[in-house]
């Protein structure tokens, strides 16, 4: 991944992400970005350190985030009230005692710092009633002094809410722009001695040190932002940064991301079934995956729709955000939704590969992606019934709940009519399965999580035993 980032002309990889939360809010929209809720070296710490080393070995600055306790998306920025008093509702505050902070929350950041992370991003939320990005106790005290962090601290997008205070608290870089609170205001603060000139020197030194440390002064470094147009509302230039040598690692990562949570009666692996029946909205590809507008609006309208889908991302004052729908009904979920999602060059859905696999055996495939109620028909001769459901999550929006009655109904209705029902869940977070997991006809359950563009190919290799399952729930 870092190799692709480097070849794209990007100087900083905003990763490892999701290191800060412990999962106190199970519905948190960004839980899927992290390595799990265990902060100790066996999970978040070790993996954060490995990510940092992998990124910076490729000449990219690693940015470990978010410091700290970024537990949820709802309320992550201030809310400007619409009443006559215009009273601001401040960002949520994660309140933590000192022991919990040191023994749990700081641990993976310590491992990332030991691995040499060049930057750390401060989070949107407040910590003990003070905004993380102008909280001197967090940035100067815990991060730079106790943990000995030598790199630069940058804000999450529009997470800066003060000028002088944030500079003195240890913030070194503001994203996406410092013109609101810094810029000329910071110049004035230096002139009137509100901010020492040495603090500005310290900011610049830390940023430039990271640039040299990652080797970005090399003549072999691609031009910064090589694929970005001057006008961000226009389509960007396509830079193919893929490396064929990565194919094996990508495939293996997708395989190891699958977790077998139930398998009775030797349901898996499948053994050349004569009749296989496929159900569920998640089995097929999404209905539209295309450039252009397809009559559905302009490029700029699409950009604005994207901004609204991660409510509050571009502004520190925003309207109340809705909760995330529980599922993506339009097809297979293979990635989460947020500002860092990449578009794939192709996508292979489970149903496509299942159909091809069964064709090789000369067997029969039945499917129904339209009927979901109690009147669903299942071929009584089916050797196996595959049911595909999902659970989605995205930045900027928390999930409404951890279960979906609609998806549960599909599984139960099929299992009532099929003696060998295998359920595949593509889940971007916690997914409750208590409504059907103990149903005797549900013989196997596979959590596929977010397998990427080769979703179908990898899944079929797992179902038919050509790939071994080794994934564990975090």
Residue 399: what pLDDT?
85
Alpha-helical (H) ranges within 147-221 are 164-169, 184-191, 197-213
* Cβ(353)–Cβ(460) below 8 Å: yes
Q: What is the pLDDT of residues 188-217, one digit of tens each?
A: 999 999 999 999 999 999 999 999 999 999
Residue 289: what pLDDT?
67
**Residue ranges, the chain, pLDDT below 50:** 295-296, 298-310, 312-319
- How far apart are alpha carbons 31 and 265 in whole angstroms? 34
46-53: long-range pairs with CB below 8 Å, 24+: 46/111, 47/16, 48/16, 48/19, 48/108, 48/109, 48/111, 48/112, 48/115, 49/111, 49/112, 49/114, 49/115, 50/115, 51/15, 51/16, 52/16, 52/112, 52/115, 52/116, 52/117, 53/115, 53/116
List C-alpha distances in Å: 264 to 35, 268, 439, 461, 473: 29, 8, 11, 19, 19
Record: fold of 2-213: TIM Barrel (3.20.20)
Residue 207: what pLDDT?
98
- How far apart are alpha carbons 297 and 288 in whole angstroms? 14
pTM, 2 dp: 0.88
Measured N-to-C along each axis, helices 350-361 and 455-463 cross at an angle, to the nearest 10 degrees, of 50
Residue 308: what pLDDT?
42
Residue 182: what pLDDT?
96
- Second-level CATH architecture of 244-292+294-463: 3-Layer(aba) Sandwich (3.40)
Residues in a beta bridge with 275 = 364
Residue 288: what pLDDT?
67
Which residue ranges make up each domain of the chain?
2-213, 244-292+294-463
| Residues annotated as part of the active site | 156
Residue 383: what pLDDT?
97
First CA to last CA across the chain, in angstroms? Answer: 22
* Cβ(122)–Cβ(153) below 8 Å: yes
Q: What are phi and psi of 300, to 5 degrees?
A: -65, -35
* Cβ(275)–Cβ(366) below 8 Å: yes
Q: What is the pLDDT of residues 414-444, one digit of tens each?
A: 999 999 999 999 998 889 999 999 999 999 9
């Amino acid at each position: 991944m870092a190799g692709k980032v480097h070849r794209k002309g990007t100087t900083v990889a905003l990763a490892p992400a999701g290191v800060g939360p412990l999962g106190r809010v199970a519905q948190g929209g960004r839980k899927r970005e992290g390595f799990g809720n265990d902060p100790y070296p066996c999970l978040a710490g070790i993996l954060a350190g490995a990510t940092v080393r992998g990124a910076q070995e490729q000449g990219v600055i690693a940015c470990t985030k978010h410091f700290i306790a970024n537990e949820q998306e709802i309320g992550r920025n201030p809310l400007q009230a619409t009443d006559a008093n215009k009273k601001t509702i401040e960002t949520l505050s994660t309140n933590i005692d000192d022991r919990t902070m040191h023994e749990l929350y700081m641990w993976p950041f310590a491992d990332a710092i030991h691995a040499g992370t060049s930057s750390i991003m401060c989070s949107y939320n407040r910590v003990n009633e003070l905004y993380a990005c102008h909280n001197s106790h967090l940035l100067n005290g815990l991060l730079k002094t106790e943990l000995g962090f030598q790199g630069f601290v940058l804000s999450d997008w529009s997470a800066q809410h003060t000028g002088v205070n944030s500079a003195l608290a240890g913030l070194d870089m503001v994203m996406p722009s410092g013109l609101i609170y810094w810029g000329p205001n910071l110049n004035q603060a230096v002139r009137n001695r509100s901010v020492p000139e040495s603090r500005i020197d310290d900011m610049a030194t830390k940023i430039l040190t990271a640039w040299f440390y990652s080797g970005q002064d090399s003549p072999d470094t691609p031009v910064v932002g090589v694929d970005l147009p001057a006008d961000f509302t226009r389509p960007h230039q396509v830079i193919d940064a893929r490396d064929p040598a990565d194919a094996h690692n990508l495939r293996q990562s997708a395989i190891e991301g699958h977790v077998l949570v139930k398998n009775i009666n030797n349901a898996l692996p499948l053994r050349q079934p004569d009749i296989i029946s496929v159900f569920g909205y998640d089995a097929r590809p999404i209905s539209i995956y295309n450039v252009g507008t397809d009559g559905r609006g302009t490029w700029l309208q699409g950009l604005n729709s994207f901004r609204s889908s991660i409510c509050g991302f571009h502004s520190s004052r925003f309207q109340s955000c809705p909760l995330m729908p529980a599922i993506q009904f339009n097809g297979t979920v293979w990635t989460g939704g947020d500002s860092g999602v990449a578009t794939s060059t192709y996508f292979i859905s489970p149903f496509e590969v299942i159909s091809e696999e069964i064709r090789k055996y000369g067997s029969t495939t039945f499917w129904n992606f339209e009927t979901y109620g109690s009147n669903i028909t299942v071929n009584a001769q089916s050797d196996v019934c595959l049911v595909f459901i999902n659970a989605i999550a995205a930045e900027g929006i928390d999930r409404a709940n951890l279960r979906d009655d609609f998806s549960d109904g599909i599984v139960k209705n099929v299992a009532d009519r099929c003696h060998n029902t295998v359920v595949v869940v593509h889940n971007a977070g916690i997914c409750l399965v208590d409504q059907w997991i103990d149903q005797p006809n549900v013989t196997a359950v596979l959590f596929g999580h977010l397998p990427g563009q080769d979703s179908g190919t990898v899944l079929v290799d797992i179902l038919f035993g050509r790939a071994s399952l080794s994934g564990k729930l975090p």
